[in-house]
Amino acid sequence: METTELLKKVRKIEIKTLGLSQNIFAGQYHSAFKGRGMAFSEVREYQYGDDVRDIDWNVTGRFHRPYVKVFEEERELTVMLLIDVSGSLDFGTLGQLKRECATEIAAILAFSAIQNNDKIGVIFFSDRIEKYIAPKKGRKHILYLIREMLTFTPNSKKTDVGVSLEYLNKVMKRRCTAFVISDFYTRKDFSQELRIANKKHDVVAIQVYDPRAKDMPDIGLMKVIDAETGHEMYVDTHDVRLRKEHKRYWMEREKRLHDTLSQSRVDSVAIATDDDYVKMLMSLFAKRNR
């Protein structure tokens, strides 16, 4: 991609997503994600009614009388975007590619974060960690992240969501809010990594999918290529049984994903490339505020 063309794309995404984050998401983002973590503030002498579990035994031993730790709501969050860059994201039949949709969603979240004085970082993943960008603040940093989202070329085309969650736990020592943005086309079970990550952090799953993956169109003979393996085959979409089987497979896969997320108590939303993702994200935020 030429520099001039890239700058135009970055600017276009900035104008669109910054406006949305300022006008629509500011309040909802703040209430949905702020103040969910507790940070250590100070110690003070034990008072009647204090929770004994908050006693700081090191300070208590030093002064020979009980002291307790005092916590306060964290005023500043660290937000991590775990972005799937595998081959299956380079697909789209209605309006835009899944990768383009994922980039806009990530940009909205990033601008919402910096408006609340939060740090924002990124983990690009396939079936391995492709790139880690440490959390920082500021518009310049956000624009750098958007440029990377638009131009990054992964070494692998396959997907392993569990790898990204495992890496998150290694690099983020303090609690953060982590958005996993993916189509979740993974053959590996990631329920254990998800469960562990959501105990330490606040994990939110955003599934991006193409509506044609859900309902196969009746358009006759069609060449199908698996973007992650390169396998090619022709299918006859006139075949009613084939379309029904495809729909059944999709529903089963979605149920497995939903079960995995709900069992780990992870908030989630599924967004099609032709959906109004503003409305879908607002719905997600509202669900967290109930």
**3-state class of 137 per DSSP?**
coil
Smallest Cα–Cα separation from 266: which of 217, 208, 197, 213?
197
Neighbours of 239 (CB within 10 A): 13
User: What is the average pLDDT value for the chain, to the nearest integer?
Assistant: 83
Task: Give the pair of three-digit tokens for residue 166.
Answer: 């495992």
Cα(126)–Cα(133) distance, rounded to whole angstroms?
Answer: 15
Residue with tokens 């034990």: 46
Beta bridge partners of 84: 125
The ranges assigned to domains in the chain are 3-34+75-288, 38-73
Does residue 284 register a pLDDT over 80? yes
Average pLDDT for residues 46-54, to the nearest whole number?
83
Segment 196-242, tens digit of pLDDT: 999 999 999 999 998 877 766 666 666 666 666 666 667 666 777 87
180 burial via Cβ count (<10 Å: 0-12, 13-18, 19+): buried
- CATH class label, 3-34+75-288: alpha beta
CA distances from 107 to 146, 213, 216, 248 (A): 7, 25, 30, 34
Confidence of residue 160 (pLDDT cuts 50, 70, 90): very high
